[in-house]
Amino acid sequence: MPGSNLTRVEAEERKGVVEAPIAYHVDLDLTRGERTFGSVSHITFDAMAGASTFLDLIADEVTAVTLNGEALDPAEVFADDRIALNDLKESNDVVVEALCRYSNTGEGLHRSVDPTDGNVYLYSQFEVPDARRVYAVFDQPDLKAVFNFSVLAPQSWIVTSNMPVASVEESETETADGTLGDKPNETTKRWTFEPTPVMSSYLTAICAGPYAEWHTEYHNEDGRVVPMAQYCRQSLAEAFERDVDYLFDITKKGFAFYAKTWGVPYPYAKYDQIYVPEYNAGAMENIGMVTIRDQYVFDSKVTDALAERRVVTVLHELAHMWFGDYVTMKWWNDLWLNESFAEFTSTLATAEATEWHDAWATFCSGEKSWALRQDQLPTTHPIVAPINDLNDTYVNFDGITYAKGASVLKQLVFYVGRERFFEGIHNYLDKHAYANATLADLLGELEATSGRDLKAWSAKWLEESGINTITPQVETDENGALRSLTLRQTAPADHAVLRPHRLALGFYDEDPASGKIVRTERVELDVDGETTVVAEAAGKPRPALILVNDEDLTYTKIRFDEESLAFAEANLHRFDDALARAVIWLAFWDMTRDGEFPATRFIDMTLRLLSAETESTTFRYALSCMGTAVHHYVPADSRDEMLRHVAAELWALANVADAGSDNQFQLATAYLGYGEEGDDAFAANARGLLNGTISLPELEIDNNLRWTIITALTSVNEMDEADVQAELAKKETTENREFALGARASHATADAKSWAWNEALHNDGLTNSQMEAVARGFSGTPRADLAEPYAKQYFDTVDWVWANKTYHMAEALLTGLYPSYADPADLTELGDAWLESHQDADNALRRLIIENVDSSRRTLKVRQYNESL
């Protein structure tokens, strides 16, 4: 990281020097070997005459730099990942020739070798500022340009980029030492692409390799025919073939939904989706060619939650083609404009244009729970976050930017009205097409269409941190009718902002005919200030439950009145509506992790919910949060008993779940995470599932589930390293290599943890995905005796990691290797000491450590609360 950061001040200064038009001609040579590739950047731009600026480039070697016809000495002008450009003219022409390095970290141009067939696959990932790892560039979002790409690649490969291919020319040149393509010493092809529209550098992309491909087309709303394609590795082609038509259909539904909703047809020449290996993100909205992690190619059974998440991801990246690509933020402080909007509209499209009609329940359980957790950390920040440099940007791809921002946009739609909201979005897109914009630009258009003054709204919702809590205060008369219903809004002391909310109250009672709990009345109202009287409620019969924020219209924590809390705890599993269940469950989980509700009661309530829940993401998060409560919040003297109780209940529920159902699959998988060394019954069940002597109706032990069982057995020392290697030898794939590394790291022995610790930190040959698998295995064993030795080591290692790893790898290591099962009091003391001695450390690094330490501090606090009961 040293030398590769860029401050906002530097970006503004460079923007003041470099002027449009800017054009790039980038030639890449991918035939030079396994380590490096050739990169030639020819850039033309206008500038202030006599001024100086710099290009960004991370390269092994710069071999030539020419500025306005004058050859410059690379040794003099290339330093700290920058190329100095001095004494500029009004019109400038610069050529940079370099050797750049392939990555195995998912940054820049990633190179992956598939062990199944030896095929090599390349793909780029340039967000935040990693185009500079591939070509010399002004790598900031507000210096938009036209890009022309030309790529020399092995003859057997295909190459894709943002634009359609202009030409492909065969060459007699052979690849270097025959290591790149499928054939020894094969010849090459040069792929030249049409010029892009004006765009930001972080949205450019190159992918190359012998990808399997499928094609169709979309009849766009502006009358154009838009070519569409999907790609994946050859070894996944058979599995992907089953889903290609479905994914094309989802994408086309997205095209139609967004064009209708915003009144702006898809603006680009083509639309490709390429599923790539070892990706360090979910997906990336490169213009005209989206890259997506190929864990979304389902070769084994997955949860319905993951299947739905794939749909949301596809629609999220498609939404970016308008919001983020067509109109782009000026600087990374408005990153939320991209991500919040894409998250909100992709959920809206999923709910209204696909078969996943409960997408808002999914959003509440999954995304919103992420936002609530992030917003209660010491590192919480406004949605419009202060971004001083690139490192600040990295850490803001978080629950505030994505999930809180999306929740607040959902609230804004109800605040101004849906029709007026999207009319404003249409005007915003039209006015700033192919340009950059800011929050003020967006709010200006929404104010114009809605007639509301949004400056005060923005100040409280977007420019202040923290989350409110709304609690109902109920008084009834002697007949059980509501005498009064008042909503009390509070805010934490360190973020004392009370916000305006447009929300709904739901009254819920039992339906005698069905036995379900259903909504009997709904009141929608504005809530502002400390107290709001719900006048419409006076005189109405007291319902069994009063649900604040019914339908999840606003972003807030909620609490219950005493009678509603008791009823919800006993009857959550009987509620008819998936979104209502999600809202109630999230409130109970929030109370549990705030130390306001006993962990044992939350666990038993969750087990009842799991017996009936039908929404897959709520099911998934209920399992996950129950696991946190069991392992971290239950008092130590009853934890072992609770672990055995939960394991037994999960196994029993899995055995009575519908044959082959999503619930059965999730329950069986969750059960496999509750093994303890010496538990003969668990070992027998896991081995039985693996060898077929025990089965659940229609539950197939496919590749991924098989590795889940293997990891469960290694975690209780029922399989050793030789067993793991024997399993890998049966089918060695990219994915199975990662599973095997994770299984080896999961062994519950001191030697295994030592190996995993050193492997994750020091084996630079591991890909980002392999390193993450090792780190998960290292930290995933819920035994304090194995974690405790690494508490001090962790903090002793932080500085070395930050100094020697790229940001993404440092983040993965510092989060993945955190020994969270060690004594939380020790971790808190050590963490506070590190922070005290590192007050001048990079803000992004401090934030990572603060969040880890705060998780331990919360664990300590909540555990003490439960021990006091």
Residues tagged active-site? 317
Nearest 5°: CA angle at 261, between 256 and 265? 55
Q: Facing residues of 67 across strands?
A: 70, 94
Supply φ then ψ for residue 39, to 5 degrees: -140, 125
CA distance 686 to 668: 10
Q: Beta strand 206-209 with 158-161: parallel, antiparallel or unpaired? A: antiparallel
For the record, the structure tokens of 269 come out as 């020449």
User: Residue 45: phi, psi to the nearest 5?
Assistant: -160, 155
- Smallest CA-to-CA distance from 160 within 197, 200, 194 is with 194
Task: Return d(Cα 269, Cα 289) in angstroms, integer.
Answer: 10
Could you give the CA distance from residue 273 to residue 278 in angstroms, rounded to a whole number?
Answer: 16
Q: Which residue has the tokens 């805010």?
A: 491
Task: List all residues 6 or more positions away from 96 whose beta carbon is below 8 Å from its beta carbon.
Answer: 39, 40, 41, 43, 55, 57, 62, 64, 65, 83, 135, 136
Torsion on CA atoms 346, 351, 355, 359, rounded to nearest 10: 90
CA 227 to chain centre: 28
Q: Which residues pair with 435 in a beta bridge?
A: 327
CB contact burial 335-370 (16+ within 10 A = b; e otherwise)? bbbbbbbbbbbbbbbbbebbebebbbbbbbbbbbbb
Is 797 in contact with 761 (CB distance < 8 Å)?
yes
Torsions phi, psi for 716 (to 5 deg): -115, 15
| Separation CA 53–CA 84 (nearest Å) | 6
Task: Determine the 3-state secondary structure of 186 from DSSP.
Answer: coil
Helix axes 790-804, 824-837, angle to 10 degrees: 40
Contact 491, 466 (CB under 8 A): yes
**Helix pair 454-461, 439-450: axis angle to 10 deg:** 130
- The answer to whether 349 and 254 have CB atoms below 8 angstroms apart is yes
Backbone angles phi, psi at 445, to 5 degrees: -70, -40
H or E segment to which residue 618 belongs: helix 616-628
Contact by Cβ (8 Å): 202, 129: yes
Cα angle 720-724-729, degrees, rounded to a multiple of 5: 145
Q: Are 75 and 63 in contact (CB under 8 A)?
A: no
Do 314 and 274 touch, CB atoms closer than 8 A?
A: no
As to burial, measured by CB atoms within 10 angstroms (0-12 exposed, 13-18 middle, 19+ buried), residue 75 is exposed
- Length of the chain (residues): 869
Helical (H) or strand (E) element with 663? helix 662-671
Alpha carbon distance 795, 814 (integer Å): 9
Q: Specify the DSSP element, H or E, that contains 688.
A: helix 680-691
Task: In whole angstroms, give the CA distance from residue 422 to residue 429.
Answer: 10
DSSP letter string, 362-412: HIIIIIIHHHHHHHTSTT---SS----BHHHHHHTSSTIIIIIHHHHHHHH
